[in-house]
Structure 1
Amino acid sequence: MATSISATGLRGGPRSSFHGSWGTSLMGEEYSILAKSVPTGIRVAKPIRLQPMMKNVNEGKGIFAPVVVATRNIIGKKRFNQLRGKAIALHSQVITEFCKSIGADSKQRQGLIRLAKKNGEWLGFLA
């Protein structure tokens, strides 16, 4: 009487449909065919990264926006941005001097500069 040994090693247990060994599953010819089929020089393109846009959400809005846009169109974008940069720098200096005179720390100064930027956007100065 023949007894069967299952994959678990117990007699009379469930039978396994596995009839090979793990060691020969990817050895010999099959391995070399598989190795040759894998490309060796895969080129992956760099992902396209969009440039961050520092755009004003209130562009064209605000009571001073039409004056700002008309001035930019008259004197040109490059000159306009230079003047705007100088005005912002002067305004930041005024805020800094004010903070020094009242004894505010740098964190409070940064908060005032951020508030000035928000107000400038809201009024249309940054249109």
Structure 2
Amino acid sequence: LRLDKWLWAARFFKTRALAAEAVAGGKVKVNGERVKAAKMVRVNDAVRIHIGPYEFSVLVLVLSTRRGPAREAAMLYEESETSQSARQELATRLAAEARYAAPATGRPSKQDRRRVIQFKKTRTE
């Protein structure tokens, strides 16, 4: 089964095109290697997925081309304990940072907007 199709079926991405784009951009690795969207995924493959600031480290349990409900999708993989705890810790840290962030005062200037874009680029890499 193609990697992009499995990522879509496992509900990591809303569309196959977004999944393929993430794979092409190096945001998804299989068994520690950068791969293409057409890579055939097998059971017991270790997949590492970067979505925004979060990183998922999962083990493929079941191959499915059907995109079902979230409960079925969660049965396609097993996320490692370290991955879950790291994501939860990051989520709480980001929530705490958001509480203390200065409120936006209208539309940002061109310079401010460029700073925000640059900041977001460095965070996702």
TM interval, short-chain normalised = under 0.3
TM-score normalised per structure 2: 0.26
Which protein is richer in strand relative to its size? 2
Q: Which has the larger radius of gyration?
A: 1
Which protein is richer in helix relative to its size? 1
